[in-house]
Amino acid sequence: MPSNKSVSDAPIFQFTNCRILRNHELQREDLWVREGKILNPEKLFFDEKASADIQLDCKDSIIAPGFIDVQINGGFGVDFSLATDDFKSGIDLVGQKILSHGVTSFCPTLVTSPPSVYHQILPQISVRNGGAHGAGILGVHLEGPFISKEKKGAHPERCLRTFEAGAFQDLLATYRSLDCVRIVTLAPEMKRSSEVIRELTKRGICVSLGHSVANLSQAEEAVQQGATFITHLFNAMLPFHHRDPGIVGLLTSDKIPAGRRVFYGMISDGIHTNPAALRIAHRAHPKGLVLVTDAIAGMGLAPGRHTLGQQVVEIDGLNTYIAGTKTLSGSVATMDTCVRHFLEATGCSIETALEAASLHPAQLLGIEHEKGTLNYDSDADFLMLSDSLCVQATYIAGEEVWRRNAPGM
């Protein structure tokens, strides 16, 4: 078939001998890519009369959208909540390292910190596309400091704040800038939180409920004001109670505005939630489940002492605690590990496990037309995986950015 280059001179890549995750199922078909986007082969054949310039045999791999981690505090010795002179090189290092775990986009997460830390760090983070340099940055997740003292978890109590008369102005003074902020976790039972939720939502910032003692009606009110996410479900919130299920009750609430979906993060590392709790949440509201790592600086490093913002944490196996306590403080799990654990713990389909780390976080952030799927015209951020969901290769904008056992990787 003659190639017609009138549309673009860029090469057309055809990935063959693979199973593609599309429309919620693995389909045996080829994946076509040009200029970083996924192509519709019918348009290519019939409109352009074009064919592939380069064919790649995927050797029966699964091809799935790249993973999106919306809660990651650091890793590989880098702590996103520590202001350092070389902060940019630290975030670059994490972005590079997580490619091998299938993460193609992420939200660097800052835990509760003094205002001076936000003022120093936030200007150093900018939204950017991914590539060979590392995973793309979608914006910052600010977890705190407007959270409950009773459910502070690993957050330093001395840095917690409440909303005073100014409410939203208090938040702006604390963070100084919202330019690169994508998610804010707050406790909805705080006075004046409704006003803050409305203002953040108006600016396109996702509001997440977490580190909270809110009852169900307070959580429902927050959702009615615009909140759409729950930070690490079950962790750092009131336990489910049959007379008032608290934030957990949002999963089956009948007070969610029409056409809206509440999403919830889960740390599927076998430590933060019992497999039975994971199964309960998934069966109650499967389309809202978003896998997050909540990884800390110690991810990828040997057990020992590391930091999480203002706190010292100890890693013991897969457990991470605030030093000298038994308070859990983030995880050292990688995203591909979380996906495999979720699949095993719930007995869900491979498609469901993969979408919890790709499609659902994209839907949460409203970017499902660009990322989180392999639909035509979406970004060609994808993974090659084995049947056991081990990452074989990672692609961003159609270019290979990591491959298992590749020279120099």
**Residues 142 and 194 both lie in one domain:** yes
- Considering the domain architecture, whether residues 185 and 303 belong to the same structural domain is answered as yes
Report the phi/psi class of residue 348: left, alpha or beta, with left for phi > 0 and alpha for psi in -120 to 50: beta
Q: What is the tens place of the pLDDT at every residue in 247-280?
A: 999 999 999 999 999 999 999 999 999 999 999 9
Mark whether 241 and 102 lie in a shared domain: yes
C-alpha dist (Å) from residue 213 to 152, 240, 399: 10, 11, 45
Could you tell me which of 368, 386, 390, 389 has the C-alpha nearest to residue 377? 368
pLDDT at 408: 58
Query: What is the Cα 199 distance to its own chain's centre?
Result: 23
Same-domain status, 116 and 176: yes
Decide if pLDDT at 148 tops 70: yes
Burial group, residue 2, by CB count within 10 angstroms (0-12, 13-18, 19+): exposed
Q: Are both 235 and 343 inside the same structural domain?
A: yes
Q: What's the gap between Cα 196 and its chain centre?
A: 23
Binding residues for Zn(2+): 143, 211, 232
Q: Would you put residue 304 in left (φ > 0), alpha (ψ -120 to 50) or beta? A: left
Instruction: Write out the binding residues for substrate.
Output: 154, 235-236, 243, 272, 328-330
Domain housing 213:
66-365
Active-site positions?
294
> Is residue 297 pLDDT above 80, yes or no?
yes
Quick check: helix, strand or coil at residue 165? coil
Amino acid present at 385: L
Residue 230's Cβ-count burial label (10 Å; 0-12, 13-18, 19+) is buried
Count the neighbouring beta carbons within 10 Å of the beta carbon of residue 303.
Answer: 14
Residues 361 and 385 in one domain: no
Length of the chain in terms of residues written:
409
How far is residue 269's CA from residue 332's CA, in Å, rounded to a whole number?
A: 8
Q: Is the residue at 216 inside a domain?
A: yes
Q: Answer whether residue 33 is part of any domain.
A: yes
Three-class SS state of 298: coil
Q: Could you tell me the pTM of the whole model?
A: 0.96
Q: How confident is the model at residue 7 (pLDDT cuts 50, 70, 90)?
A: low
Q: How far apart are CA 396 and CA 375, in angstroms?
A: 15
What pLDDT shows up at residue 9? 83
Annotated binding site: 143, 154, 211, 232, 235-236, 243, 272, 328-330
Identify whether residues 155 and 194 lie together within a single domain: yes
**Looking at the structure, do residues 201 and 59 belong to the same domain, yes or no?**
no
Q: Is residue 6 part of a domain?
A: no
Tokens of residue 361, six digits? 């976080």
Task: Assess whether 253 and 344 both reside in one domain.
Answer: yes
CATH (domain of 29): 2.30.40.10
Residues 51 and 161 in one domain: no
Predicted confidence band at 50 (pLDDT cuts at 50, 70, 90)?
A: confident
Count structural domains, the chain. Answer: 2
The answer on 271 and 219 residing in a single domain is: yes
